[in-house]
């Protein structure tokens, strides 16, 4: 069936359901807040966020707010996920290390852009659930590991991109060592109970590191070791 047309000849947008309206508003909200990278917008649209929020929060899945998940953690608000993904500048040739799998949402978004994503989670409960979601949705280029995020994955390094989704008070040198020359690392940096900022670290071809402070944020703390709670 042909789409109805406006008097000027343009096809109108046909909206089939309230869910379609919600997804359109989701995309418009990201654009209004300055997300302009088309690949990032497409990745955000492709990943069904409602599969990553806790039971009882599905109606708020596309609201621009952080939501609670298990183990006292959160799924970041969509704008922050989109912003960090855009700043990370991920391409189809890149291997990405993510510290803090959480629900698996950020890893799923990155999987639509990168060649490979390795994600480390200190809580086995979260890691297992995220792994199941990612497998069910068919994102076959994501590997979820239970481990110490501060230790990274040295046996799989170097990585072209590293993203940390919990706040560190200092730049983790062990992770920076796993960043390839020419690579980029993004993390929230600042006191756990004070002002934090997203910081971008860019490693030159010779290994020198340039640091840029970006937007203010509030993330859960980046903690060492694997959690005792399984």
The residues that are catalytic are 76
Radius of gyration of the chain (CA): 18
CA 112 – CA 42 distance, rounded (Å): 9
């Amino acid at each position: 069936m042909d789409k109805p047309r406006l008097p000027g000849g343009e096809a109108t947008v046909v909206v089939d359901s309230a869910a379609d309206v919600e997804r359109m508003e989701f995309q418009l909200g990201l654009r209004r807040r300055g997300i302009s990278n088309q690949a990032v917008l497409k990745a955000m649209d492709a990943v069904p966020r409602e599969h990553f929020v806790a039971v009882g929060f599905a109606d708020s899945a596309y609201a621009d707010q952080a939501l609670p998940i298990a183990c006292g953690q959160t799924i970041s608000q969509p704008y922050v996920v989109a912003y960090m993904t855009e700043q990370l500048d991920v391409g189809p040739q890149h291997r990405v290390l993510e510290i803090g799998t959480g629900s698996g949402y950020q890893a799923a978004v990155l999987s639509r852009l990168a060649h490979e994503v390795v994600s480390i989670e200190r809580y086995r409960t979260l890691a297992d659930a995220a792994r199941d979601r990612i497998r069910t949705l068919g994102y076959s280029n994501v590997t979820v590991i239970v481990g110490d995020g501060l230790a990274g994955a040295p046996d799989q390094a170097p990585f072209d991109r590293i993203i940390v989704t919990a706040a560190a008070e200092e730049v983790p040198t062990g992770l920076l060592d796993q960043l390839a020359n020419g690579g980029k690392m993004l993390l929230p940096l600042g006191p756990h109970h004070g002002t934090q900022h997203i910081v971008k670290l860019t490693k030159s071809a010779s290994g020198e590191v340039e640091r840029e402070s970006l937007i203010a944020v509030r993330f859960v703390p980046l903690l060492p070791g694997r959690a005792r709670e399984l």
